[in-house]
C-alpha cells in the first residue's frame, strides 16, 4: 500500500477535529472487525505508479476515516484479467468499485467519452470546474444511471503528450495506414484521417510497439511514459492535442453504495475526491521532473509538434464527427453543448489569467 503522506494524515486529523467523521456516526471501536469489506477492480497492473497509487490512497483514507469500519481490497488487472471489463464487473456487482477511464466504454455508450477528455477541449482546471460547478457531475450521473453505476472523478493527468512514433509525421499522408494505439474520441478523429486505430491494455503496450503490432502509441506523458521505455523504440515524441485534461474515474455499484450507512457514503466520497486531486498534483509533479531529464538522459528523443496543416485537419475531422454524432444522439448533444458553453465562458478567464501570465513570464 502507498505510504500516507503528511498532508494526507493532516487531512484525516482535520476531519476528525472538525467533527465531520464523529458527527456522522462513523467512529467505531479501533479493534472492531470491518463491517463492510468491498472489492475494487482496476484497469492498471500490480504496482502501477500514480494511477494505482491513487486507488491505494483512496482505500487507505476510507479505512482510516472509518476507523476500520470499512475496508476495500484492490484487485489489479493481473488478477481479474479484464483490464477493459471494469464497467461490466461493477455493473454486475462482481466488484463494488472500479477504477479506470470513462472513454474506454465508448463501444457500450458513446456518451461516456466526455467524462475523460475530448480533443481540443477543456484543460484540467476548467474541466474540474465544469464537473463540480458547471453541471458535469449531473450529466455524468445521467449517463451512468442507465448502467446502475455511480461515476466520480478519479484523478487527472493534465495535458497529455500526442504520442510516440517510429517515424516523423510531416504530412497527412504519413498517417495513411499507420497502426496506432489511441483511445477515446481522438481515435475516431485519427481513424477519419487514415490511421488504423486500436486500443491495447497498458501492460501490453511496450510489447505491441516492440513487435511492430503498432507503429505508434499515445499513453500519458513524461510522468509515466519514460518508465515504460517507449523511447527505446519510437523516438519521435509529439506534443498533445487530443487529451488536454484526462480524468480517470472511480465507479461504484449504485445498489451497493445506496446500502451503505450515510456516514460511510460521505467518507467514501471524500476519499475519492481527495485521492483524485492528489493524483493530479502528483502527475503534474512527475511530468515536470521527468521532462527536465529528457534532454540529459534520453538524447535520442526528438520532440515534435504536429504541423499547422495536420492540426487543422484534426480539428476539421473532430468537428465533423461531433456534429454527426450529436445529430443522432440527444444526450451526446446535450453534454457537448454543456462543455462548449462552459469552455467558452471559462476560457476567457484562462486567457486573461494563466495564459497571459505565462506568455509574459516564460523564460
List the domain boundaries for the chain: 6-153+246-286, 163-243+299-346
- The rounded mean pLDDT for the chain is 93
Res. 7: pLDDT tops 70: no
Residues 6+ apart with CB under 8 A from 243: 116, 117, 119, 157, 159, 160, 184, 186, 218
Residues 6+ apart with CB under 8 A from 79: 46
DSSP 94: S
C-alpha cell at 212: 511492430
The pLDDT score that the predictor gives to residue 24 is 47
Residues in the chain: 363
Domain 163-243+299-346 has CATH 3.40.190.10: yes
The pLDDT score that the predictor gives to residue 34 is 87
Average pLDDT over residues 333-355: 98
**pLDDT band at residue 21 under the 50/70/90 scheme:** low
What CATH number should be reported for the domain whose range is 6-153+246-286?
A: 3.40.190.170
Residue 145 CA to residue 141 CA, distance in Å, equals: 6
Res. 217: pLDDT tops 80: yes
Res. 173: pLDDT tops 50: yes
Domain 6-153+246-286 shares a fold with domain 163-243+299-346 = yes
Res. 109: pLDDT tops 90: yes
Query: What's the farthest any 2 CA atoms get from each other in the chain?
Result: 67
Burial grade of 314 (CB within 10 A; 0-12, 13-18, 19 or more): buried
Quote the percentage of the chain above a pLDDT of 70. 91
**pLDDT band at residue 183 under the 50/70/90 scheme:** very high
Res. 268: pLDDT tops 60: yes
User: What does the radius of gyration of the chain's CA atoms come to, in whole angstroms?
Assistant: 21
Amino acid at each position: 500500500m502507498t505510504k500516507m503522506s503528511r498532508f494526507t494524515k493532516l487531512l484525516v486529523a482535520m476531519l476528525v477535529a472538525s467533527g465531520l467523521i464523529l458527527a456522522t456516526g462513523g467512529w467505531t471501536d479501533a479493534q472492531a472487525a470491518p463491517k463492510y469489506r468491498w472489492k475494487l477492480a482496476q484497469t492498471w497492473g500490480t504496482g502501477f505508479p500514480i494511477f494505482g497509487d491513487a486507488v491505494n490512497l483512496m482505500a487507505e483514507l476510507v479505512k482510516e476515516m472509518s476507523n476500520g469500519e470499512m475496508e476495500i481490497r484492490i484487485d489489479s488487472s493481473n488478477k481479474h484479467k479484464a483490464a477493459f471489463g471494469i464497467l461490466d464487473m461493477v455493473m454486475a456487482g462482481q466488484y463494488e468499485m472500479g477504477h479506470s477511464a470513462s472513454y474506454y466504454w465508448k463501444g457500450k455508450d458513446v456518451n461516456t467519452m466526455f467524462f475523460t477528455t475530448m480533443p481540443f477541449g477543456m484543460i484540467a482546471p476548467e474541466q474540474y470546474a465544469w464537473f463540480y460547478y458547471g453541471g458535469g457531475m449531473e450529466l455524468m450521473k445521467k449517463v451512468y444511471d442507465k448502467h446502475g453505476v455511480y461515476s466520480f472523478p478519479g484523478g487527472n493527468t493534465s495535458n497529455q503528450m500526442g504520442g510516440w512514433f517510429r517515424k516523423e509525421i510531416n504530412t497527412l499522408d504519413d498517417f495513411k495506414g499507420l497502426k496506432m494505439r489511441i483511445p477515446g474520441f481522438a481515435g475516431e478523429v485519427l481513424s477519419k484521417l487514415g490511421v488504423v486505430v486500436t486500443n491495447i491494455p497498458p501492460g501490453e503496450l511496450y510489447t505491441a510497439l516492440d513487435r511492430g503490432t503498432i507503429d505508434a502509441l499515445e499513453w500519458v506523458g513524461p510522468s509515466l511514459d519514460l518508465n515504460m521505455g517507449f523511447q527505446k523504440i519510437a523516438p519521435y515524441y509529439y506534443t498533445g492535442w487530443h487529451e488536454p485534461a484526462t480524468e480517470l474515474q472511480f465507479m461504484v455499484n449504485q445498489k451497493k453504495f445506496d446500502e451503505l450507512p450515510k456516514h460511510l457514503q460521505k467518507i467514501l466520497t471524500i476519499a475519492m475526491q481527495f485521492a483524485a486531486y492528489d493524483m493530479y498534483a502528483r502527475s503534474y509533479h512527475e511530468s515536470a521532473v521527468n521532462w527536465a531529464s529528457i534532454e540529459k538522459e534520453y538524447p535520442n528523443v526528438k520532440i515534435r509538434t504536429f504541423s499547422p496543416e495536420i492540426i487543422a485537419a484534426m480539428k476539421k475531422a473532430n468537428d465533423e464527427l461531433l456534429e454527426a454524432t450529436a445529430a443522432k444522439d440527444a444526450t451526446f448533444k446535450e453534454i457537448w453543448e454543456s462543455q462548449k458553453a462552459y469552455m467558452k465562458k471559462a476560457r476567457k478567464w484562462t486567457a486573461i489569467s494563466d495564459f497571459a501570465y505565462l506568455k509574459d513570464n516564460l523564460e
